[in-house]
Amino acid sequence: MSSASDEARSAELRQKAERIRADLQRLIRELEKVIVGHHEVIEGILICLLCSGHVLLEGVPGLGKTLLVKSLGRVLNLRFSRIQFTPDLMPADIIGTNVVMEDESGRKHFEFQRGPIFAQIILADEINRATPKTQSALLEAMQEQSVTVAGIAHHLEAPFIVLATQNPIEMEGTYPLPEAQLDRFFLKLNVTYPSIQQLEDIVDRTTQHDPTTLQNILDAARVGEMKEFVRTIPVAAHVKNYAARLVLATHPDSSYATDLAKRYVLYGSSPRGAQSLVLGGKMKALLEGRYNVSFEDLRTIAIPSLRHRLILNFEGAAAGIEQGSIVSEILEKTPEVVRGS
Amino acid sequence: MQCQRWGGRMEHEEILQRLVRTLRRRASWVRRRTSLLQALFIGLCLCLALAIWHRFVPLPINQLVELGIAAMAFCAIVALAIGLRSRADPMDLLIRADRTLKLRERLSTAYELATSPHPHPLRLIVLQEAARVARSVNPFRVIPSTTPRTLRWTPFLLLAIVLVLVVDFGMLLPQSFIGGDERPSSTLYEQGQQLERQGKRLETEARRRGLERSMEAGRRMQSLGQRLQNEKVNEREAMARVNSLSEYVRNLEDELKKMAVLDDVSLSNVREVMVNQASVSSEVQRLLGMMGRGKLSPSEMRNLQERLQSLGQQGVLDERLSEALNQLRDGDLEGAREMLENYLLQDQMAQDFEHLQRAERALDRSFEHGIDPSDEMDVDAPGRDSGEDSEYEMAGDPRGGSGGLPGDFEGGDYLDSEGMGSNSSIGSGRGTERETSRNRITEAKSPASRITGQTGEGGVRRSYVRALPLKADAAIPLEEVITTYQKRAEESLLREEIPPNNRDLVRAYFLAIGLVEEAAGSEGKDEQRER
């Protein structure tokens, strides 16, 4: 290995990174053909996809959540599955079940019938309309990327991403997601109502022409390659320290905790929050064409990474405190660099 | 090969390291400068404190300036020492550069990868990126030389120092606030005026007499008097000073008057005589010894004349010694010897007379007060003055309780001459001043009362004191009184009023000075010898 080969390797890595960034830009542009606005949501979904995470999309019905996920499945050329969560949905309806089958000779046997979870992009629509029991059926699949039925583990094909949509919990007929499940979502993205220009654009796109046909941009192998590259992006020690302090600041009994966290938070973020911060930061850096994570990357990703991991106490819930505002305060009050860090 | 392998990486690392060195130099300089400025500010604060201190406890201005400069210098040295010791962490500097120039942690991440022992797949790319942005890093922008915020107060501090040093707060603030409510009392003021007047008088008198030290003393008295009139001092302390000074002045005036008397009788030839009488006597005895060897060679004769003349240069060449010198020059060796023998005899008689007087006085005291005569009779001890002070207390005698200048009084100049006053041969006297002066004139004119003491200003020589007459009226020729006193001494010794247990002491004393016969008390003599 010589200097020239070093340079060649460096150039190769640069090209790889450039290709990834170009593919992602293309992907975003393709999605934006059907999704008006919601750029941050699209970017967040891509971050989760390349970081092996899952996304919780929160917004009132009719904002294009389901369309976004379906479009993503199309452009990625991944197997897409949609599960509409209802109060009477059972876990077996999601992961599948053993059914009695009769062969040609008349002998009966159990055969595992795969549920809709066996796909690569799962749209868990209105996930909070199902009971917690059913919601929990996703736990193993989201974390281990496998499901176990009757003692037999069934692995899910990579890449595996769950994009769950939920209505705001104050709506009728909703069940709040269990903390364990919330923690398994890499990001929680809020789908907000479009602005007037965006709304006009939506009207134009959906009433004048035929629905746009989306091109296939990536495949599973390419996504896997991207995922590997994202993880190689270095993070400096002081940046990691900042991420750790941000996460610790969500704990009310921590010395880094801010006033709001101390007052309204019952449980702070788990270590998954720190993982989410750093990985999300890497992805942000890559999207911006950098090869290192900055404080700004962490700050950008902090709110969607941490807000759903904060469990409010009674006072916080009663006061209607937004977890996002607590994270904002943490970002505001936590210094980026502390002496001796 | 190795160089080639790492050439590119080394180049990028070198750029990064160069940036680190630049930033470190800059940070060190800024830190030292900041420390120095802060130290100077602290020094200025100390100067202000000194100035405030100066208002209450005045210091000489040069001392004040020296203290201020010393405080500033000390602070500066400490600041420089601190600045030299501390070294900036490269990582901190690069983080600062990243944040200041919004480089998104490129430099710090690259430096961490460069210094990490673990290889990283993106290390080269990160280093390249860092090297690219490092070229545009301006160290002056990353580490600006900011002035400490505390220095904003420097003009006010300087103004405060000037105000404290210059402005008379008595005009602005109530007296009680500045602690200056102790105006000199009327008593002090009057005493100050009186002191000033006395000083003027003393100076005038001293100038007339040509006494430079007394003139200086007069001037100082005037200065002190003026201070007492103006300064705010503790009244009790000031009164004590005034009293002691007044006494000193009285003594000085007495002395001047006495000197005036001596001048009148033309005894100026004794003005600086501080000769030990014993040494003169011994010298005369040695001269007599030389003469006793018979005919002298011319060189011996010349030596004899020179030595005799040297006595004259010491101020003790009286008529008899002058006569002896003249006879010697005339070649009359026998006549000169006779003259010197006569001198010695008279000198011995004068000393005997003094001893006799002391003995008599001691006895008188013991009889009058019933005290132990032994306390009074140790006349041979040269430094024994406690019993004699009351008699010898003269103007300016430093042994006297009041004649000397108080130790706390205006420095040592007054005391440099072992007591400003003199050990006049004429004591303070008992009786009116006029009588005392008359007695002194008589004494001075009498042939036997050789005044061997010094008057006026000058040093004190104890050996000389012993040879003085004890009282102002003691200027009777010794030969006229010696027999009388010898007799009285013997009578006193036998007088029954002497306590039996003190008789031996008295006897021993008289035996020692040779004024009584051994037969007068052989028992006591034996006992004394044993003792």
DSSP string of A224-261?
HHHHHHHHHS---HHHHHHHHHHHHTTSTTSTT--HHH
B14 has a pLDDT exceeding 60: yes
Interface test with B, best of A1, A2, A3, A293 (most B CBs within 10 A): A3
Residue A1: strand, helix, or coil:
coil
At A231-264, the pLDDT tens digits run 999 999 999 999 999 999 999 999 999 999 999 9
Residue A185: the pLDDT is 92
- Res. B440 pLDDT band, cuts 50 70 90: very low
- What average pLDDT does the segment B74-81 reach? 85
* Residue A2 to residue B4, Cβ atoms within 8 A: yes
- A161-166 and A121-125 strand pairing: parallel
B354 pLDDT above the threshold of 70: no
Pairing of strands A96-102, A108-114: antiparallel
Confidence class for position B234, pLDDT limits 50, 70, 90: low
DSSP readout, A130-142?
A: S-HHHHGGGHHHH
Mean pLDDT for chain A overall: 87
Q: Is B133 on the interface with A (CB under 8 A)?
A: no
| Cross-chain residue pair A236–B99, CB shorter than 8 Å | no
DSSP structure string for A148-179: EETTEEEEPPSS-EEEEEE--TTSTT--PPPH
pLDDT for B188 beyond 50:
yes
What are the structure tokens assigned to B456, written together? 């006026």
Name the token pair of B41: 């500010």
Q: Say how many domains are in chain A.
A: 1
Distance CA A10, CA B233 (A): 89
Q: Which of A70-74, A203-207, B415-419 has the highest mean pLDDT?
A: A70-74
> What is the mean predicted confidence (pLDDT) over B196-200?
82
Residue-wise pLDDT for A132-162, tens only, equals 888 888 888 888 888 888 888 888 888 899 9
Confidence band of A2 (pLDDT split at 50, 70, 90): low
**Among A18-32, A238-252, B473-487, which range has the highest average pLDDT?**
A238-252
Q: Is pLDDT at B371 greater than 80 in this prediction?
A: no
> Which of A6, A235, A291 is nearest residue B129 as measured by Cβ atoms?
A291
- Under the banding of pLDDT at 50, 70 and 90, the label for residue B470 is very low
User: How does residue B239 score in pLDDT terms, banded at 50, 70 and 90?
Assistant: low
Quickly count: other Cβ atoms within 10 Å of residue B197's Cβ: 13
Predicted local confidence at residue A253, as pLDDT: 92
pLDDT for residue B165: 80
Mean pLDDT of A12-37: 88
- Chain A residue with CA closest to B109: the answer is A236
CA A175 to chain centre: 20
Instruction: Write phi, then psi, for B431 (nearest 5 degrees).
Output: 120, -175
What pLDDT is attached to residue B254? 67
Q: What is the pLDDT of residues A253-296, one digit of tens each?
A: 999 999 999 999 999 999 999 999 999 999 999 988 899 999 99
Is the confidence at residue B78, as pLDDT, over 70? yes
Average confidence (pLDDT) over A66-83: 85
Percent of chain A residues topping a pLDDT of 90: 32
**Any A CB within 8 A of B126 CB:** yes
Distance CA B384, CA A106 (A): 150
The verdict on residue A341 lying in a domain is: yes
Under the banding of pLDDT at 50, 70 and 90, the label for residue B56 is: confident
Scored b (16 or more CB within 10 A) or e, B84-107 reads eeeebebbebbbbbbbebebbbbb
Indicate the average pLDDT of chain B.
66
Which pLDDT belongs to residue B448? 37
Q: How far apart are the first and last CA of chain B?
A: 113
- The amino acid present at A1, given as its one-letter code, is M
- Mean pLDDT value of segment B132-137: 88
- pLDDT value of position B76: 85
In this structure, of B148-157, B335-344, B374-383, the range with the lowest mean pLDDT score is: B374-383
Q: State whether A3 and B104 contact (CB < 8 Å).
A: no
* pLDDT given for residue B493 in this prediction: 60
**Cα dihedral B283/B284/B286/B290 (nearest 10):** 140
Residue B445: the pLDDT is 41
Q: Are B47 and B138 in contact (CB under 8 A)?
A: no
Residue A329 belongs to a domain: yes
A190 falls within a domain: no
**The CATH number of the domain where A283 resides is what?**
1.10.8.80
B339-360 mean pLDDT: 69
Instruction: Specify the 3-state DSSP secondary structure of A80.
Output: strand
Query: Of residues B301 and B241, which shows the higher confidence score?
Result: B301
Q: Cβ separation of A3 and B105 shorter than 8 Å?
A: no
Is A33 part of a structural domain of the chain?
no
Q: What average pLDDT does this structure show over B292-315? A: 72
Contact B125 A291 (CB under 8 A): yes
Q: Percent of chain B scored above 70 by pLDDT?
A: 48
Using alpha carbons, select from B442, B400, B84, B395 the residue that is nearest to residue B258.
B395
Chain A residue set in contact with B, beta carbons under 8 Å: 1-3, 6-7, 9-10, 13-14, 17, 232-239, 285, 290-297, 336-337
Using the Cβ of B70 and the Cβ atoms of chain A, whether some distance falls under 8 Å is answered with: no
Given B1, B98, B121, which is nearest A13 (Cβ)? B121
Q: pLDDT higher for A244 or B189?
A: A244
pLDDT value of residue B82: 81
Token pair for B528: 């004394």
Cβ proximity of A34 and A71 under 8 Å: yes
In a domain, A289, yes or no: yes
pLDDT of residue B312: 65
- The answer to whether position A243 is within a domain reads yes
Has residue A331 been placed in a domain?
yes
Q: Is residue A128 part of a domain?
A: no
Q: How far is CA B502 from CA B388, B499, B506, B514, in A?
A: 20, 5, 6, 18
Q: Which among B101, B109, B118, B120 is the top mutation candidate for probing chain A, defined by the most A β-carbons within 10 Å of its own β-carbon?
A: B109
Q: What's the domain range around A284? A: 234-341
